[in-house]
Amino acid sequence: MRAIIIGLMLAAATTAFAQVGEHRSELAVGVNGGYVLSNINFVPTVSQGLHGGASGGLSVRYTCEKYFKSICALYAEINYSQIGWKQEILDAYDEPVVNDVTGENEQFSHTINYIQIPLMARLGWGRERKGFQAFFQVGPQFGLYLNENSKMNYDPDFRNLTDRVNKQIKQESMTVENKFDYGIAGGLGVEFSSPKVGHFLIEGRYYYGLGNIYGDSKRDHFARSNFSNIVIKAVYLFDLIKTKDERIK
């Protein structure tokens, strides 16, 4: 009898839940572009600023349900992104280190180009067809290594290590060992929708890498070397499939 009662209660709860949600079946595709500020969490520490690079590609969104006031969707991108790190080469007084040969402030940056694929669950609040909507989205992101390059204004054999307060230089000559990157991405944004034109979105997103670009065994130099990215981007989507419901605004 107890099992029957529990079963009836679960069935009633499931029915009530199904009645609350409003079904959607909407598909939108488009393009995105933005700017990435990135660095790498090195252990041992490497003094860094933020490396700037471009990011852009294709976007797709499938909206599946409105639950209470939350608009539920799945969102994905395929992007080409320029990420990496930019070193802060300073002395003990936080002044730029001057190279003894060139007489210039020493500068070093390393750019790694990836194909990045974020796959995110999305919740939105506001207008769906005409007007503004705020949204939050989060999910896994995967990166496929393409190539890399370094920029420095000094000869590696004539670095000014005497004045550098941070003397970690191993990373200046290393290449990426782990070609597959993965982590968690999440963002907040606002969307403006027009029935005739489409959807315009602006988003701020953060990505934290869970994998290291270099080996992390006891024999390796760095125990940790994972990405941390801040992305500011704009997205344009147009509808391919729309739910036929006059109540949707």
List the CATH number of the domain containing 81: 2.40.160.20
Residue 65: band (very low, low, confident or very high) from pLDDT cuts 50, 70, 90: confident
Domain count, the chain: 1
Looking at residues 38-43, what average pLDDT do you find?
Answer: 97
In this predicted structure, what is the pLDDT of residue 6?
41
Looking at residues 223-245, what average pLDDT do you find?
Answer: 92
Residue 137, helix vs strand vs coil: strand
pTM of the model: 0.86
Assigned domain for 158 exists: yes
Range of the domain at 140: 21-241
56 and 80 Cβ atoms separated by less than 8 Å: yes
Assigned domain for 67 exists: yes
Assigned domain for 112 exists: yes
Residue 237: band (very low, low, confident or very high) from pLDDT cuts 50, 70, 90: very high
